[in-house]
Structure 1
């Protein structure tokens, strides 16, 4: 069914371009729309076989758009919702309105392709299909039987019982989001929504993303409103703009807020969990973070250990992610041999648990056979080292033999790769290190073939 036409609706050009390129490589015909208005126009011109619809857009949110299409008795084609702020609550609402499925950002490409294939096979939905988010995932739990992980879970459960702010410290990829979800799942707010918002992703629309927007009496809820009765996990709080820090602190202290452009005063009913990979005390001393906001957040600090501090848990983590990726993304099951597991126990894991998950995913996608042998693991680790070393020796090889344009591109590529490594995969931090505007930075990364998610 690879001749089907798919409409991709997303306000981020980089995501539209990426999804369009991948789907066209699979043989699909793709149209794109950048906002609700252009999506409406595209649907009026020609109803596609499938719509991939972002929830957060500047003019109208995706759920509202889905409601419009439902007024006629249901969407004229399967609709798959996409959002980086996904919750079970949002998924259930989208299901009720007739959406076929729900996938979270950052997009897993194997899962995206599998969802697209299944949605197209379903045809026009009669009775709406249950969403992946609505079905619910197993309760998130930091994996590991080591003493340090047992202590972490014990501390998290004790903290969960008290409805207070929590500050999670830990390196990029160590599992702060998983721990935040674990605290939520063991708290009195467990029946409420769990909303995740990355401070590093908040640009000019940060106020609207946090507090919501009201345009001419048409409200679009923000993260604080969506998380009502539940938990808001604010990741990378160290990257929150200084002005937004002050606004959020004021709202948290007063317990009331207003949508951007609106007059209605809303009560705040949210537990805040913040995550940071940087020491906020250092950021305060450097003048990059408000001291009053730091002390407000730092009521209950909890450190998430780096994977190198509990490598005895590597075999269990490998088993967990194999099963998870097989079930979630439909990948073929493969088993790590004991020798391969032992080799990975001796790896330094600079990218922590996220690096391990990415490695497992790559081996399941690219490898063959039921067993993952140590030689295949060595080859995958060598490829990682080659990618990491691409930014090494930045000044050692300036490609002086190349024409100016090619030499400049080579230098820019290696420069950005090195800065991305220093930023630990954060595009927000990369923008600060390079002094580049984020939209231009995304275009430059795409033009140079650099995927920041590989470093995240």
Structure 2
């Protein structure tokens, strides 16, 4: 079963260690903080399903901290206050600020576990299991700087009214990040509608987007369905020209009229567009409307490919194993360190979709408790064999300069992973002078450890 993330905030070391030990043994993922400052820092790096918050702390007390989170709409976790003797009234008062409940010190292990379970169950019933899953699972996996920065950026823009463009490679979880953005926003109690632009054609786009009125009956379109909430539009580059034009005009005017309708309806949604890594190229080729993108990219978010934060792959492996065991009743298997390291060093052109598929096959096909390096090599070889013809065909369709650039980018990205992101080590491995290699990496827009420069 996938673990819940719990933050314990208490200035007493023995209390923190005791709660951490108890909850860890019960399968929770526990982070500890000794002050309000450390608690804020912990929440800037990830979201928590539950916060156990002490009332009396030296710098900022728990009530003030809870009030700060509540008033700034940053309270997307269940909160249980911990109170010593004489502070029970204050703890009860905290429930009016958003706390689920409180527990008195000295702590009873049975009462602690029961209170934690009840608080998480209450959150699950309020948000629905799918919403809790999105808060506590995929989005929060990964401790790399790139994913920490991404989560922080999403939290910072959660409540802005502007439209947003999320772009990245296929399989990076772009739609999941878009849904997460809705779920932590002040629109979260309203609908989140995902629209696949591929399904829109010149003949049906207007009815799909604006809705239709037939004999005084309203057939709602995507804009009606997402009213006061969020509309996520994926596969923008594959959408019909007419559909792109309709979306662009409504985003510019903030008004729309249903097919066969007379009334102008006010637009009250936030739109999140999903585009590919090379959406700029799609604009230049005429596949994607420049005007539509201009209406969407008031704020742009890039989702990094899996190979650029390969250090997170062991955590994602554990996540997918838990998910597949829970949802598909597969037999649990443990990935050996060698197996995990090999998966870290694979370039993952299909990103999370490819990783999850391989984990699934390894769980289904394995006979022993441990996943071995040989099993992983066998599965990766199948993936590489499938991809060779595609890569070859893809490069052969390009002009020489573009084909060479794509090959060099893929080659150096993979080699950089094998060198743990160290350019000096990479220079020796590929036989290129270091200064020239820095220029090459920069020209190919490959991220590397700039501390070495």
* TM-score class normalised by the smaller sequence: 0.5 to 0.7
Map of 1:240 onto structure 2: 239
Instruction: Give the Å deviation of 1:357.
Output: 1.4
Q: Secondary structure of 2:375's partner?
A: helix
SS class of match (1:331)? coil
Query: 2:304 aligned with 1:305, yes or no?
Result: yes
Counterparts of residues 218-367 of structure 1 (less than 5 Å) = 218-367=217-366
Tell me the alpha carbon deviations over residues 191-227 of structure 1, each in whole angstroms, 9 at most, x when there is no partner. 1222212222333433333223334444332222221
CA shift for structure 1 position 142: 5.0
Deviations 1:55-100 (A, max 9, x none): xxxxxxxxxxxxxxxxxxxxxxxxxxxxxxxxxxxxxxxxxxxxxx
Q: What is the SS of the residue equivalent to 1:238?
A: helix
Query: 1:48-127 residue pairs with structure 2 within 5 A?
Result: none
142 and 273 in structure 1: CA distance in 2 versus 1, 3 angstrom threshold: farther
Name the residue aligned to 2:185: 187
Tell me, yes or no, if the aligned pair for 1:142 and 1:182 is still in contact at 8 Å. no
For residue 404 of structure 1, what is the aligned residue in structure 2? none
Q: 1:339 to 1:278 in 2, by over 3 A?
A: closer
Q: Is the 8 A contact 1:142 1:175 kept in 2?
A: no
The aligned counterpart of 1:442 is none
Q: Give distance in 2, aligned partners of 1:217 and 1:171.
A: 44
Assess, with a 3 A threshold, how the Cα gap between structure 1 residues 370 and 195 changes in structure 2: closer, same or farther: farther
Q: 1:163 aligned to 2:122?
A: no
Residue equivalent to 2:212: 213
Q: Which residue of 1 aligns with 2:44?
A: none
Question: Counterpart of 2:287 in 1: which secondary structure?
Answer: coil
Preserved CA contact (<8 Å) 1:231 1:272: yes
Tell me, what secondary structure is at the counterpart of 2:232?
A: strand
8 A contact 1:256–1:268 mirrored in 2: yes
Q: 2:165 touches 2:296 (CA, 8 Å); kept in 1? A: yes
Structure 2 CA distance for partners of 1:365 and 1:190, relative to 1, 3 Å: same
Contact 1:165–1:272 (8 Å) recurs in 2: yes
Cα distance, 1:264 vs. partner?
Answer: 4.7
Q: Would you say the 8 A contact 2:165–2:299 is kept in 1?
A: yes
CA shift, 1:355, in A, is 1.2
Q: In the alignment, is the contact (CA less than 8 A) between 1:213 and 1:260 conserved in 2?
A: yes
Tell me what 2:9 maps to. none
Q: Could you tell me which of 137, 145, 150 is aligned with 1:152?
A: 150
1:139 to 134, 138, 144: 134
For the residue of structure 2 that corresponds to 1:273, the secondary structure is: strand
The change in CA–CA distance for 1:220 and 1:326 in structure 2 (over 3 A counts) is farther
Question: In 1, Cα distance between the equivalents of 2:180 and 2:328?
Answer: 22
Residues 217 and 262 of structure 1 are in contact (CA less than 8 Å); yes or no, is this contact kept in structure 2? no
| Partner Cα distance (1:337, 1:196) in 2 | 38
- 8 Å CA contact 1:315, 1:345 repeated in 2: yes
Deviations 1:395-436 (A, max 9, x none): 9xxxxxxxxxxxxxxxxxxxxxxxxxxxxxxxxxxxxxxxxx
Which deviates more from structure 2 when the two are superposed, residues 318-327 or residues 147-156?
A: 318-327
Whole-Å separation in 1 of the counterparts to 2:212 and 2:341: 52
Q: How does 1:412-427 map to 2 (within 5 A)?
A: none
**Alignment check: 8 A CA contact 2:236 2:288 kept:** no
Distance 1:369 1:205, change over 3 A: farther
Alignment match, 1:370: 369
Distance change >3 Å, CA 390–CA 216, structure 1 → 2: farther
Of 152, 172, 175, 1:174 maps to: 172
Q: Secondary structure at the match of 1:139?
A: helix
Partner of 2:440: none
Asked if structure 1 preserves the Cα contact closer than 8 Å seen for 2:257 and 2:263, the reply is yes
SS in 2 for 1:197: strand
Unaligned 5+ segments in structure 1 are 1-130, 396-456
Length, aligned pairs only: 265
Contact 1:280–1:294 (CA under 8 A) maintained in structure 2? no
Cα distance in 2 for residues equivalent to 1:380 and 1:209: 42
Higher helix share: 2
Partners of 1:318 and 1:360 within 8 A in 2: yes
For residue 200 of structure 1, the aligned residue among 198, 214, 235 is 198
Bigger mean CA deviation after superposition, 141-150 or 256-265: 256-265
RMSD: 2.6
C-alpha separation in 2, matches of 1:250 and 1:290: 12
Give me the TM-score of the superposition, normalised by structure 1.
0.54
Alignment check: 8 A CA contact 1:281 1:294 kept: no
Which secondary structure state, in structure 1, belongs to the residue aligned with residue 218 of structure 2? strand
CA contact (8 A) 1:142 1:178 kept: no
TM-aligned CA deviation for residue 181 of structure 1:
1.5
Q: Are 2:251 and 2:295, in contact at CA under 8 Å, matched by a contact in 1?
A: no
